[in-house]
Structure 1
Amino acid sequence: MKKTLLALVTSVVLAALASAPAFAASHGKKKQRKAAAQAQHQPAPVRDGEAEARLIEIYRLIGAAQSRQALAKAEKLVRDHPNFQLAQLAYGDLLNAQSRPVRAFGDVPDSVAKTGAQMLTELREESQLRMRALRERPPAGAIPAQFLQLSPRNRHAIAVDASRARLYLFENTAQGLKLLADYYISVGKLGIEKSVEGDLRTPLGVYFVTSNLDPKSLKDFYGAGALPINYPNPYDAKRGKTGSGIWLHGTPPNQFSRSPKATDGCVVLANPDLLRIIRTVEVRTTPVVIAQNLRWVAQTHADPEGKRFADTLQAWRAAKGTGDVSRVLGFYTPDFSGNGKTLAEWTPVLKGELDRARGRNVQLKDLSYLRWTDSADTMVVTFGELVEGARTGATKRQYWVRQGTQWKIFFEGVIG
């Protein structure tokens, strides 16, 4: 095999594998499970991340100049996943390399390159993004900076890094967030930062899974299922953003994965990966952060602004316990909206809450808050509000915005 192809993958793959022992260990366990299944004369189940792990192993073998082994594994991969176009392309390169030098990844005849130029470009980009995600692993124990505090009710969390075409799935444990898995994803045809209906872009922000759609009710286009999210959220609505129907969903039967920018605005995963997420996360309580670039921080990282916000939130709680309407209203923006009510229309609702509390302390149970910063600095806060002595209370969600040195509420609503 010519040096040109080796140079394409050697430095990237070997550096990636050296910095990703968890990935390699996971892949090894999958191979052991697969061998055990074959020993019982049963086909190995299709597992999340399995096809990508096998593709990366093929790249590794190419980088190590073990073309025969790579070819054998590529042949088996395309047999197991005939709709995995990127694997087909790698297999074609390996076949070509047996008879002639391979000039570049996806070295197809010139006539094919002309007619399929766009697809070839997309497959090359997909390959580069998959390998970049392997090479640039999140620091051990780090989490996205948006996750300031999650309650035990947030059993899982999702973060999407659009620049890396990657979705990260976390479990919320007693020791903090634990990265369970990460997957290649596709976003909108025209990229990110959705603003209006039909702009073919994926929204950026903090969202929540709102439902789990039965795949039997969906067209084949959506694959193994769909998890809608709450776009537009109140912050989106405040900025005049429109549109709907943003889902995490799968791929049609003839496509294992889609190109990095291929959707109408949804986040799309390979079906085995989506099924893992569907089986894992919970509706309504699972946050989904979609960012252009995720910033990873240590879980013990102290965010000074997060501490200031936490103090402000507790001051709001204490003010509610006093029963003083004017004092509580000082925490709200003039353009506040509460389930369609203006601040003036919502004030009687607030007064009614304070009258029923009769000056008793207000407790915030299962408190979580996530920070989102773009043109403004915002917090998405969810909690159960319980008046001292009461057995039950409402579950609320608030959106706060930083105005200078102060935090103010611009949306509040009951969600349960």
Structure 2
Amino acid sequence: MKKRVMPWAKFSLCLVLLLFFTPAAQPRLTPPWPQQHIPVFEQPGRVMSGSPEQMIVAAIDAVRQGRMADARATIDALLVKEPNYNLAHLVSADLYAMRAAPLASLGGAAVDAPRDRLDDLKREAQMRLLRHVAPPPSDRLPAQLLVLSPAQTHAVVVDTSAARAYLFKNVDGVPTYVTDYYVTIGKLGTDKNKEGDQRTPLGVYFVTSHMSRPQLDKIYGDAASLYGVGAWPISYPNELDRREGRTGHGIWLHGVPYDTYSRAPLASNGCVALTNEDMTALARQLSPGSTPVVNVTRVEWLDRASWDARRASALARLESWRTAWESVDTERYLSFYGDRFTDQDGKTLASWQKQKLAVNAGRSWSKISLGQVSIFSTSGENATWVATFDQDYRSDKVNNQMRKRLYWQEEDGAWKIQWEGRARAG
């Protein structure tokens, strides 16, 4: 038997279902919604203030609760503030259309809109609303940021599945949450492998430079409009990417065209794009040459005790490697290297072993110190620790200083070094 559903209740229910179509980690929003009548649109509404994202979420929530006048007033105020906000225009059109007839879904008033464009806006609405029903946990720390060097005042972790970039401040070595931003990633998702695949790379990278809008205009002409307020290139491909044969270049953090407020969650050619307002705010905390940008499929949040333990484990492993090398105990030192190891010059594990055995045979002592240490991590099938530090090596034969990087991955139940060499950034 079919139940009668008033037009406004029907719209509210469909809107919520559309915004929460992903099974995992979705809030449970239960009907019935209040039955609405045309007069609710004529009543004075209350404008919910805040950022554009807070306002669009508040307007959608007002529809869910049957507060149509509040939704209308908030959307109108938002469009005065951000006249190029396409998602707000979509909700506005639906609110007007609902006066005359019920709508089957969010965007029901946009009957002539291209289907892919409408789906993009629905995905954007979903991502923005999900952030506000499941905000980042205030009592947890990101497993991706284990050790920040004193020079790294801030760090960025991009959660590609949630379309969010999280900004953390370095407070006495502890990554402390500051804020987060909605982002756009590659059209075809993540795990970039080759030039032009329209995917966003996963891994540990560093901001390398800043390209202002005037610079972009000079280089790219009209095409520079894609980047909005400017671009901040990151170090893709990193050293491990190159070892694995990943290709491509020009992966940036950047803004969006001035004629739009934001882009869909999957819309870039592989870069991470933010609204111009958000990119401007984030840029104030980016230091080319040092700020890490860790791209992952999902942020792993740890309680403080678990984070401390994982941090201590990573530092202890690095220190064990250092002391083994310093002790000129070649066998113990080489036990830290994985079967797939290569160095910056392409030496395999066998070549590395041969070289180290020959070098240490004529050496009586060495002294090695590590400074400005940072350790960042990724998770998943090929979980990786990325350790970077200033290395000061002294022995009876040679003295050498360099900024070095080690990539560690698990092998046979232990973390082993898979790449070693000079750090290109960070």
> TM (normalized to structure 2)?
0.79
Partner of residue 171, structure 2 = 173
CA distance in 2, matches of 1:372, 1:148: 11
Q: Is the 8 A contact 1:335 1:342 kept in 2?
A: no
Partner of residue 194, structure 1 = 192
CA distance in 1, matches of 2:312, 2:57: 42
Q: State the Cα distance separating 1:168 from its structure 2 match.
A: 0.9
> Where does the alignment leave 5 or more consecutive residues of structure 2 unmatched?
1-6, 21-26, 29-47, 217-223
- Aligned residues: percent identity? 33
* 1:277-322, Cα deviation, whole Å (9 max, x unpaired): 1111212222212111222112331576665543332122113323
Q: For 2:291, which of 286, 289, 301 is the aligned residue?
A: 286
Q: Is the 8 A contact 2:93 2:110 kept in 1?
A: no
CA distance in 1, matches of 2:70, 2:308: 49
* 1:95-119, Cα deviation, whole Å (9 max, x unpaired): 2223333332112153x15xx2111
Q: Is the 8 A contact 1:188 1:262 kept in 2?
A: yes
| Inter-CA distance 191–377: structure 2 relative to 1 (3 Å threshold) | closer
Q: State the Cα distance separating 1:237 from its structure 2 match.
A: 2.0
The 5-angstrom pairing of residues 9-408 of structure 1 reads: 50-108=51-109, 110=111, 112-113=112-113, 116-174=114-172, 176-218=174-216, 219-302=224-307, 307-323=312-328, 328-333=333-338, 335-342=340-347, 359-386=365-392, 393-408=401-416
> TM (normalized to structure 1)?
0.81
Q: Is the 8 A contact 1:10 1:64 kept in 2?
A: no
Q: State the Cα distance separating 1:377 from its structure 2 match.
A: 3.4
CA distance in 2, matches of 1:360, 1:85: 63
Q: State the Cα distance separating 1:373 from its structure 2 match.
A: 3.2
Q: State the Cα distance separating 1:162 from its structure 2 match.
A: 1.4
Report the 3-state secondary structure (helix = DSSP H, G, I; strand = E; otherwise coil) of the residue aligned with 2:52: helix
> Where does the alignment leave 5 or more consecutive residues of structure 1 unmatched?
17-29, 32-48
Bigger mean CA offset, 267-276 vs 313-322? 313-322
CA distance in 1, matches of 2:360, 2:132: 53
Q: State the Cα distance separating 1:372 from its structure 2 match.
A: 2.2
* 1:40-91, Cα deviation, whole Å (9 max, x unpaired): xxxxxxxxx8211221222233233332232122122112212110011111
Partner of residue 411, structure 1 = 419
Partner of residue 9, structure 2 = 3
| Inter-CA distance 375–107: structure 2 relative to 1 (3 Å threshold) | same
- Cα RMSD of the aligned pairs, angstroms, is 3.3
* 1:193-228, Cα deviation, whole Å (9 max, x unpaired): 111111111111121111111221111111111111
CA distance in 2, matches of 1:312, 1:69: 57
Bigger mean CA offset, 369-378 vs 248-257? 369-378
Report the 3-state secondary structure (helix = DSSP H, G, I; strand = E; otherwise coil) of the residue aligned with 1:83: coil
Q: Is the 8 A contact 1:10 1:62 kept in 2?
A: no
Q: State the Cα distance separating 1:249 from its structure 2 match.
A: 0.9
CA distance in 1, matches of 2:197, 2:232: 21
| Inter-CA distance 96–280: structure 2 relative to 1 (3 Å threshold) | same
Q: Is the 8 A contact 1:190 1:200 kept in 2?
A: yes
| Inter-CA distance 268–352: structure 2 relative to 1 (3 Å threshold) | farther
Q: Write the letter of the residue equivalent to 2:390.
A: G
* 1:344-398, Cα deviation, whole Å (9 max, x unpaired): 777899799989x973532222222122233333210011223589x99432221
Bigger mean CA offset, 142-151 vs 207-216? 142-151
Higher helix content, 1 or 2: 1
Q: Considering only CA atoms, is the larger Rg found in Structure 1 or Structure 2?
A: 2
Report the 3-state secondary structure (helix = DSSP H, G, I; strand = E; otherwise coil) of the residue aligned with 2:211: coil
| Inter-CA distance 309–167: structure 2 relative to 1 (3 Å threshold) | closer
Bigger mean CA offset, 147-156 vs 252-261? 147-156
CA distance in 2, matches of 1:384, 1:299: 28
CA distance in 2, matches of 1:392, 1:141: 42
Q: Write the letter of the residue equivalent to 2:100.
A: S
| Inter-CA distance 341–56: structure 2 relative to 1 (3 Å threshold) | same
Count how many residue pairs are aligned between Structure 1 and Structure 2.
Answer: 382
Q: Write the letter of the residue equivalent to 1:379.
A: W
Bigger mean CA offset, 170-179 vs 1-10? 1-10
Report the 3-state secondary structure (helix = DSSP H, G, I; strand = E; otherwise coil) of the residue aligned with 2:73: helix
Partner of residue 42, structure 1 = none
Report the 3-state secondary structure (helix = DSSP H, G, I; strand = E; otherwise coil) of the residue aligned with 1:361: strand
Q: State the Cα distance separating 1:323 from its structure 2 match.
A: 4.4
| Inter-CA distance 216–358: structure 2 relative to 1 (3 Å threshold) | farther
Report the 3-state secondary structure (helix = DSSP H, G, I; strand = E; otherwise coil) of the residue aligned with 1:320: helix
CA distance in 2, matches of 1:280, 1:176: 16
Bigger mean CA offset, 269-278 vs 328-337? 328-337
CA distance in 2, matches of 1:54, 1:303: 37
